[in-house]
């Protein structure tokens, strides 16, 4: 062995470039491989049921992404998921597991439905932003309270947010069946229908409401906040090690309450769009589980606000294809839930491989051989 062999070879621009690419490729390749692994395991499951996996995946593609109608379907379903995933992902950067976005969604919806009755005569340009803002505020208070309970009372935020969601749904039922009920809503108690001028319309050329565009913008803004601002940097530090953050003088309490409130505001907005763009009034249909699917989206996206966008599209596509799969292959409606479960476990399990099958390490090993 030559003298000085243990001195690392000087990095060439090529090697640095390759190493950079390899680092990025790992973050991309691992989830994709995990996704494919999940699909493969599910294919075995289908074979055991005597169904053809190729037909299954082709149907999923066709109904989720294959035609213009499929994209309408998928995008419509994605909008509420984007908001509800942000409600999980934003607090998650502080290490908080908030799973009660459903509560903020229904209360945001009730606020929009109830307040709209008072704003009937207002010009839309004032009333619509006010409705959205108030719905977001209710959501912010609801989930912000979870952060406050944790910071000041030491209450576990996961349990608190989940239990508060049940309270929120009960509160919604009470309000739409009692004080806020439109007497004309006989067999489905609801608030009075929103005035036409207050309804949110569709994106031009699509059957998808504006909530989708707003949600995408919110995802981008959250990414900027978390990755490109000092506040976001502070949040990530506090999420990594709360003691260290406190020692550094970071305002941990303000960050926790602020980030949970911000997440809740997005869930509140989801409720606003459900009422103003889909239902036209607030009623029990607001509690339809978007808050819970959002948890899945956020975890699959590793709480990265930008990654939420494709993940939400993927899951929305699964859900969009659920019906066609039921009808054509005579599979139960739980099929898509099973597929989502396989993918979820597969991607979470793949995280333990991060750094272990690193292309960077492989490149370096070849170098020293």
Name the residues that contact other proteins, by CB under 8 A: 24, 27-28, 31-32, 35-36, 52, 54-55, 57-67, 69, 72-73, 76-77, 170, 173, 177-178, 186-189, 223, 227, 274, 278-280, 283-285, 288-289, 301, 304, 306-307, 309-310, 313-314, 319-320, 323-324, 326-328, 333
d(CA 300, CA 146): 23
Q: Residue 235, Cβ neighbours under 10 Å: how many?
A: 25
- CB-nearer residue toward other proteins: 15 or 328: 328
The CB-of-151 to other proteins minimum distance in angstroms stands at: 28
Q: Chain centroid to CA 136: how far?
A: 16
Q: How far is the CB of 271 from other proteins (least distance, A)?
A: 12
Provide, for the chain, the percentages of residues in helix, strand and coil under a 3-state DSSP scheme, each rounded to the nearest 5: 75, 0, 25
- Contact (CB, 8 A) for 64 and 317: yes
Task: Give the number of other Cβ atoms within 10 Å of residue 7's Cβ.
Answer: 7
Nearer to other proteins, 27 or 129 (CB): 27
Q: State which residue, 85 or 256, has the beta carbon closest to other proteins.
A: 85
Backbone angles phi, psi at 209, to 5 degrees: -75, 165
Quick one: 156 or 229, whose CB is closer to other proteins? Answer: 229
35 vs 256, beta carbon nearer other proteins = 35
Nearest-approach distance from CB 12 to other proteins, in angstroms: 22
Q: How far is CA 302 from the centre of its chain?
A: 10
Q: Give the residue with the Cβ less far from other proteins, 218 or 261.
A: 218
CB of 86 to other proteins, least distance (A): 15
Write down the least CB distance from residue 243 to other proteins, Å. Answer: 27
Token readout for 131 is 């409705």
Shortest Cβ 129–other proteins spacing (Å): 23
Contacts 24+ apart (CB under 8 A), 124-132: 124/197, 124/198, 127/197, 127/198, 128/198, 128/200, 128/276, 131/198, 131/272, 131/276, 132/269, 132/272, 132/276
Rank residues 123 and 178 by Cβ distance to other proteins and give the closer one.
178
- HSE-CB at 86 with a 13 A cutoff on CA atoms is 36
Q: Which is nearer to other proteins, 53 or 251 (CB)?
A: 53
Tokens of 84: 């509800």
Distance separating alpha carbons of residues 369 and 292, to the nearest angstrom: 50
Geometric angle at alpha carbon 213, from 210 and 217, rounded to 5° = 140
Asked if 26 contacts 18 with a C-beta cutoff of 8 angstroms, the reply is no
| Least distance from other proteins to the Cβ atom of residue 289, Å | 7
Between CA 91 and CA 101 the distance in angstroms is 11
What is the nearest approach in angstroms of other proteins to the Cβ of residue 326? 5
């Amino acid at each position: 062995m030559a003298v000085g062999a243990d001195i690392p070879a000087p990095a060439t621009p090529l090697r640095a470039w390759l190493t950079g690419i390899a680092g990025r490729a790992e973050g991309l390749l691992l989830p994709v491989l995990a996704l494919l692994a999940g699909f493969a395991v599910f294919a075995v499951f289908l074979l055991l049921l005597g169904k053809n996996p190729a037909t299954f995946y082709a149907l999923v593609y066709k109904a989720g992404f294959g035609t213009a109608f499929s994209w309408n379907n998928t995008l419509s379903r994605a909008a509420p998921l984007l908001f509800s995933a942000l409600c999980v992902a934003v607090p998650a950067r502080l290490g908080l597991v908030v799973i009660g976005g459903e509560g903020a969604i229904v209360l945001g919806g009730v606020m929009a439905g109830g307040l709209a009755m008072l704003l009937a005569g207002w010009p839309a340009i004032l009333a619509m932003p006010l409705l959205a803002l108030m719905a977001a505020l209710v959501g912010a208070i609801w989930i912000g309270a979870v952060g406050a309970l944790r910071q000041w009372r030491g209450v576990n935020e996961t349990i608190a947010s989940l239990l508060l969601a049940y309270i929120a749904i009960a509160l919604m039922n009470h309000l739409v069946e009692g004080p806020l009920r439109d007497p004309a809503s006989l067999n489905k108690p609801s608030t009075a229908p929103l005035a036409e001028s207050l309804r949110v319309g569709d994106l031009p050329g699509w059957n998808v409401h504006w909530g989708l565009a707003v949600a995408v913008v919110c995802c981008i803004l959250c990414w900027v906040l978390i990755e490109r601002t000092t506040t976001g940097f502070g949040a990530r530090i506090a999420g990594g090690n709360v003691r260290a953050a406190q020692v550094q003088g970071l305002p941990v309490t303000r960050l926790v309450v602020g980030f949970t409130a911000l997440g809740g505001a997005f869930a509140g907005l989801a409720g606003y769009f459900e009422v103003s763009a889909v239902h036209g009034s607030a009623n029990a249909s607001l509690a339809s589980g978007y808050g819970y699917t959002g948890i899945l989206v956020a975890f699959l996206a590793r709480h990265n606000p930008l990654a939420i966008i494709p993940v939400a599209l993927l899951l929305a596509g699964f859900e969009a294809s659920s019906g066609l799969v039921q009808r054509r292959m005579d599979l139960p409606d739980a099929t898509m839930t099973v597929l989502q479960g396989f993918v979820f476990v597969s991607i979470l399990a793949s995280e333990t491989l991060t750094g272990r099958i690193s292309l960077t390490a492989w490149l370096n090993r070849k170098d020293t051989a």
